[in-house]
Amino acid sequence: MSTQKIPQATAKRLPIYYRYLKILNDAGKERVSSTELSDAVKVDSATIRRDFSYFGALGKRGYGYDVENLMKFFSKTLNQDHLTSVALIGVGNLGHALLNYNFHQNNNTRISAAFDVKEEIVGTIYSGIPVYQMDEMMEQIPLQQIEIAILTVPAQVAQDTVNKLVEAGVKGIMNFTPVRITVPKNVRVQNVDLTNELQTLIYFLDNYAGEEVSEEE
What is the residue extent of each domain of the chain? 8-77, 84-196
Topology of domain 84-196 in CATH is Rossmann fold (3.40.50)
Neighbours of 145 (CB within 10 A): 9
Query: 128: left (phi > 0), else alpha (psi -120 to 50), else beta?
Result: left
- Torsion sign (Cα): 121, 124, 129, 134: positive
Q: Which amino acids are annotated as binding site for NAD(+), given as ranges?
A: 90-95
- The pLDDT, as a whole number, for residue 184 is 96
Residue 61 CA to residue 151 CA, distance in Å, equals 45
User: Within its chain, how far is the Cα of 76 from the centroid?
Assistant: 15
pTM of the model: 0.69
Top-level class of domain 8-77? mainly alpha
- The pLDDT, as a whole number, for residue 105 is 59
Of the candidates 133, 137, 186, 131, which has an alpha carbon nearest to the alpha carbon of residue 164?
137
**Angle formed by the axes of helices 34-41 and 45-53, nearest 10°:** 110
- The pLDDT, as a whole number, for residue 193 is 86
- The pLDDT, as a whole number, for residue 2 is 42
- The pLDDT, as a whole number, for residue 45 is 87
DSSP 165-188: HHHHT--EEEE-SSS-----TTSE
Of the candidates 51, 42, 83, which has an alpha carbon nearest to the alpha carbon of residue 70?
51
CB 84 within 8 A of CB 103: no
Residue 133 identity: Q
Torsion, Cα of 88, 191, 166, 142 (10° steps): 30
Q: Which amino acids are annotated as binding site, given as ranges?
A: 90-95
Cβ-proximal residues to 206 (8 Å cutoff; 6+ apart), any chain = none
- The pLDDT, as a whole number, for residue 3 is 44
The whole-number mean pLDDT for each consecutive block of 10 residues of the chain, a chain of 217 residues, reads 67 86 89 88 88 78 81 80 86 91 72 94 91 95 94 96 96 94 95 86 79 54
Q: In the chain, which ranges are E strands?
A: 31-32, 65-66, 84-89, 109-116, 125-126, 129-133, 148-151, 172-175, 188-191
